[in-house]
Chain A
Amino acid sequence: MAQKPVQPEQIIHFLVFDLAGQPYGVNVAQVEGVVAGPGREGKWTYQGQEIILHSLPRLLELALPEEALNRVLLIRRDGELHGFLVPTPRDIVALAVEDIFPLPPLIRRVLGERTLLWGVGRMENGLLLLVDPEADEAALRK
């Protein structure tokens, strides 16, 4: 089970993507950067380093055309870069910890232990589904 990121402050920033009309947020603290990508999964060389690109919508079991996934979300974990195909970010939002809630147990049981979703953030104009791209380690090794 993925660990919930820990922030020293009471404010957490999330990089927001629109996937299938729904905003998804990735903790900025996990993000190495966002760069232009090839638009397809597989091996990709970035700054002389070969990394494997995964489609974040596919991991979230969302139907999204690959040509819309023209950006690569870079995440460094244990000194190793991981790439996720994402659309262009829409925004960066800051949520107070009071506005961040874990997934309800019922939904977690339905989605399973390997889901990338770890919580829900409350924004002024709606809810933000919080994603941990590194949660499914087995998927990242594929």
Chain B
Amino acid sequence: MQIDHEDLAFGERIINYVRWPILVILLLFNNIGPTQQSSDLTLPINIALLVALLMTGYIQYRLHRGRSFGPAITLALAVLQDGLITVGVALTGFYHSHFFIFYYPSLLGFSLAFPLRLGLGYATVVGAAYFALSWFLTPALGDPAIAFKVLIERWLVLYLTVAIGGVLMQHERDRRRRATADAARNAAEKDALYRDLHHRLEGWQQVAHEIEKTTEKLRKLTTGLSALTAEMGSDCATISATAEEIVNRTAHNIEQLTTIGRMSQEVVAAARRLTQAADSTKESSHLARRAVQRATAAVQDLRRRSTAIGDLAAAVRRVADQTTLLAFNASIEAIQAGPEGGRFAVVADEVRQVADRSARLAREIDELSFELEQSTAQVLTALAEIADMVDETRRFTQVAGQASEEQKGSAEVMAHSVGELERGTQETAHRVRIVSETMDRQHAALQQVAVLSRELSAASDRLAELSGALAA
């Protein structure tokens, strides 16, 4: 049989639990028992019993506090106690006490057996040794019948004590085994429970993590939805405002189109007048061309005459120069003639002055002729340009006439198109108005969506909190 540390502690506790009340009883009966004999040693014996009792009490106290002396010291103390009691009792003749008889063998055997891990055989040997010691110390045991009777009684008590102790020990072991098994089973169940709980916790954490990620996505979606809702609300408001502005502008456009239609009709009328004017201009340009041709011819004739005048002026200037020379020579002759030539000199001087005046006039005429020639040249150039412009005007008039015809047709088409456009614009305005009303309704719906989005955001936050709590 294997004895572990718990067995030893149990045996130690049993020994002391058993010994302590026995010692109390022994102390009482030592003085009042029926077989007590007076002796001078009564006082020392009682003191020894009291010491043993105190030792037992102290051991009990330590055991009760969970502290032990250990098996060896416990055994030594037990031997010391028993030895003191045994010697004292033997010396006082207290051996007739049944308590003494029943107690000591069982106590000693039990005390020694468990701490020393000995069996019943050893208990028997110890009991025999104790019996021999009692035999020699107790005169009353000189009777073999009594001694045998005591021996039998003590063996019986010893075996019963050991048997009871064994039963108690077995019972204790079974209890501990069951407790151990229960503890193991409980531990296994707890471990399984823990594992299951751990598994569940991991699952919960994973679920919480998923919830957290989903919550984060939901929060982002909610935020995006809020922003999108706000943006769509703003867009709706903008579209609504724009639609309203379009309606207003469309109304204005309708007025403009009405005006354009009226103007198109006026354009048609103007195109007709322009065609007539173009025809008239065409005729006028033809006449102007002929007038320019006549003017050009006249100016060219004037230029020729101017040139002739210049030639005449040059001739006059030459004559004047010759006259001047003649006058100078006449003056020289008159001066050289002396006083007789005085009158002639006066005439010559007059001639020279006339010649000078003629020369100056000739130069002025020449200059005027030159200027006239320059002017006629400029006039001819201008007339040529006018002729070109007249030709250009005639060509432009032809083109304008054609364009006017085309414009008239286009204006008629435009008038018709403007009417169609006006009707289409009115239809567009009607549809835009419908869009505006729709956008107003959508705006209201978006505001409601925004409210729901905020509630969804709050729910998302709450879900995040729960997820955090679940993960924790």
The chain A residues found within 8 Å of chain B, CB to CB, are: 13, 15, 28-29, 31, 33-36, 71, 88-89, 92
Bound complex: CA of A15 vs CA of B336, how far in Å? Answer: 12
Indicate if B322 sits at the interface (CB-CB under 8 A): yes
> A13 and B335: CB pair below 8 A?
yes
> A33 and B331: CB pair below 8 A?
no
> A34 and B335: CB pair below 8 A?
no
Interfacial chain B residues near A88, Cβ < 8 Å:
321, 324-325
Bound complex: CA of A96 vs CA of B349, how far in Å? Answer: 19
Name the one of A29, A36, A89 contacting B336, with C-beta atoms under 8 angstroms: A29
Bound complex: CA of A92 vs CA of B346, how far in Å? Answer: 12
> B322 and A36: CB pair below 8 A?
yes
Interfacial chain B residues near A13, Cβ < 8 Å:
335
Nearest A residue to B339 via CB reads: A9
- The minimal Cβ–Cβ distance linking A76 to chain B, given in whole angstroms, is 11
Interfacial chain A residues near B321, Cβ < 8 Å:
36, 88
> B325 and A71: CB pair below 8 A?
yes
Q: How many A-B residue pairs have CB under 8 A?
A: 31
Interfacial chain B residues near A34, Cβ < 8 Å:
325, 328-329, 332
Instruction: Report 6 cross-chain contacts, Cβ distance below 8 Å, ordered by A residue.
Output: A28-B332, A28-B335, A28-B336, A31-B332, A34-B325, A71-B325
A28-B331, A31-B332 given; name 11 further pairs at CB < 8 Å: A29-B335, A35-B325, A35-B329, A36-B321, A36-B325, A88-B321, A88-B324, A89-B328, A92-B331, A92-B332, A92-B349
> A15 and B332: CB pair below 8 A?
yes
Nearest A residue to B330 via CB reads: A33
Interfacial chain A residues near B331, Cβ < 8 Å:
28, 92
Bound complex: CA of A13 vs CA of B332, how far in Å? Answer: 9
Interfacial chain A residues near B328, Cβ < 8 Å:
15, 34, 89, 92
Within 302-343 of B, Cβ neighbours of A (below 8 Å) are at: 321-322, 324-325, 328-329, 331-332, 335-336
Looking at B322, B325, B328, B349, which has the most chain A CB atoms within 10 Å of its CB?
B328
Interfacial chain A residues near B322, Cβ < 8 Å:
36
- The minimal Cβ–Cβ distance linking A92 to chain B, given in whole angstroms, is 5
